[in-house]
Structures are given as structure tokens and as C-alpha cells.
Structure 1
Amino acid sequence: MLQDLIQKGLRLSQHAIFRKFVTRAGGFLAKPAKLAILLTSAYDKLIDTGSSQSGFAQVKDIMQTFIRLVKAYANGSYRAVSNKSLLVGIGVLLYLVTPLDVIPDFIPVIGLLDDISLMAWFVDAFQKEINGFRAWEQGKSASLGVRELES
């Protein structure tokens, strides 16, 4: 099932509507206030689910990690990510929060399936970037813990 979602997400990533979102993504990186609103909107949409550890929950967790990555990039504390990954990821977030996409979100069940498929594709395609950021977060947490012990 996850492979089906990834393949559907790949097809959506090649759609003209999604390409427009990727084009718009560059403008969000240059405007911290707009980026903050986007990240908050995407986060709110991602946490609005009652499932626990389903495939969607796993994708949701990774997308929340990506949101933290973009925040760290925007504040200058993390730069070990490619511009392409940032732009595509922000394009996915824009697609996620915009109700008018390939299959509009107001259509029950299938309206969110394209969002989930696109997120699954992004997670699969950019797993290395996500893992690198998580390792950076863990290293940062570990160094903060050592400093607290030294104090």
C-alpha cells in the first residue's frame, strides 16, 4: 500500500499544479513571516488525525520533522540541506495546506488521498535529508545535555 502511495505521489509531483507550488516555494524562503504562517498551517493540518502509528502517522511524523528542518534552516542553525529538497518540501507543504489541488480536499476521503500520496513520495525521495536532520537534532540535544551536566 505504501508503495502505491509513493507511486501516486511521484505522479502528482510531476503535475503542473504541483510545479506551481514548487515555483512559489522560493518566495516563502525569502519571507520569514510567510514561511512561519505556512509551517504553522501545515503543522495544524498534520496533527489533525486520531490514528496512532498508522502509515499516515509515520508520514505525519516525518513531515513534522521536515517542518522543524525548515524552521532551523530559516533561523540559520541548520544548513546541511539542498535547496532542491527545501523547495520541493515547501512545495509539498503548500500543496498540503491549499484546499484547491489536483483532487480538492473537501471531497471526502479521496480529497486527502492526493495529499497523503504526495507526502509519502516526498518522504521516500528525501529520506536522506530527513535522517541527516534528525541526526543533527539528536547531536544538538546530546550536547545540550552534556552542558547541563557540566553546569
Structure 2
Amino acid sequence: MSTLAEKGVKIAKNAVFSLFLKRATGLLGKPIAVVVALREVAAKLDDVNSKKGPFQQTIDMVRTLIRLVNAYVTGAYRRIEPSTIISGLAVLLYVLSPIDLVPDFIPVVGLLDDLALISWFISKFRDELVSFQEWERTHAAEATAIAASVPAATDVTLTNAVTELGHS
């Protein structure tokens, strides 16, 4: 039987995921749209009922990924390859999207493809995530100041960003 990370590799090589890579590449230059997507992914994670055991570690790493992409987009953290950020953002967009290989409304099974893809990303980019967590511990004040300097989005901008993400 294949591991969750091995299943994630298969998803990462799938044509559906390549669409999310393209979308993530396009969004990377639009910080407000990325922030909207990150907030939606965080909200989706908050809706998960079972946050105990091994799932808690996965959720914690996804939250680290959200903070990492946010820090990259705001310019606070650039010690990472843009291709890694694009892959991470694509994973988050896949998790957020109602259109994926196994629909999320199917109990338990619907979240397995999301978890598999997240597991693949974490296993492939663990060192980068750990480096970012260390940077967060030593540069927390700097990161907070830069994140606070991002202008607040207007309703029109938020609507455009959500439309860009493929939501209605």
C-alpha cells in the first residue's frame, strides 16, 4: 500500500494540479488575491472537526505554509525559490478548490486527496518550512511590521480576487 506522500506525488503530477500551478503562478504577482486565498484556506482548516493526533501536525504545517506564502508576498521573507512558493500556493489553491480529484463533500475520502497533496509538499519541502519557522522565531517583529504595511483591500478588490480564484 502506498503512503500518503506517495499518493500526493501522483496528485502533484496530475493534469488537474498543473492547472493550480498555472493559477498560482498568475496569482503570485497579485498580493491581495494571494492574501484572500490564504485567508480562505485558513478558514477551511478551521472548519475541520478533528484536529488531534497526526492531523494536528499536518494542520500546523499547512498554517506554516500559509504564513510562508504570506511573508513571501509581503516581501518579509525571500530566502526561498519562487518555484517553491508557486508549488505551495498551488497546493493551497487545490485544498481551497471545490474542484479536485475527489470532491470534498464526500465524507473522509473527500479530504484524503487534499491530505495526500499536503503530505507530498511537506515531505518535499520540509527543510524550507523548518527554515522559515526558525526565521519566524528570530524575526517575528520584522515580519509583523511588514505584514501590517500591506494595504487593506477594498470590497471591489476582494471581489475581483475571489473571482480570479474561480469562486462566485
TM-score normalised per structure 1? 0.88
Task: Check whether the contact 2:76–2:142 (CA below 8 A) recurs between aligned residues.
Answer: no
**What does residue range 2-151 of structure 1 map to in structure 2 within 5 Å?**
4-141=3-140
1:77 deviates by: 1.0
Corresponding residue number in structure 2 for 1:148: none
How far apart, CA to CA, are the structure 2 residues paired with 1:141 and 1:28?
A: 26
Q: Which runs of 5+ in 2 are unaligned?
A: 144-168
Task: Check whether the contact 1:70–1:86 (CA below 8 A) recurs between aligned residues.
Answer: yes
Task: Check whether the contact 2:80–2:128 (CA below 8 A) recurs between aligned residues.
Answer: yes
Deviation sequence 1:27-83 (CA, Å, 0-9, x none): 111111211110001111122223344222111100101111111111111100111
Q: Secondary structure at the match of 1:117?
A: helix
Q: Which amino acid aligns with 1:105?
A: D
Aligned-residue identity in percent: 41
How far apart, CA to CA, are the structure 2 residues paired with 1:117 and 1:56?
A: 12
Is the alpha carbon distance of 1:142 and 1:32 closer, same or farther for their aligned partners in structure 2, counting shifts above 3 Å? closer
1:14 deviates by: 0.5
Q: Which amino acid aligns with 2:112?
A: L
Q: Which amino acid aligns with 1:110?
A: V
Q: Which amino acid aligns with 2:100?
A: D
Q: Secondary structure at the match of 2:49?
A: coil
How far apart, CA to CA, are the structure 2 residues paired with 1:137 and 1:102?
A: 34
TM-score normalised per structure 2? 0.79
Q: Which amino acid aligns with 2:38?
A: L
Is the alpha carbon distance of 1:53 and 1:109 closer, same or farther for their aligned partners in structure 2, counting shifts above 3 Å? closer
1:123 deviates by: 0.6
How far apart, CA to CA, are the structure 2 residues paired with 1:143 and 1:86?
A: 20
How many residues are aligned here?
Answer: 143
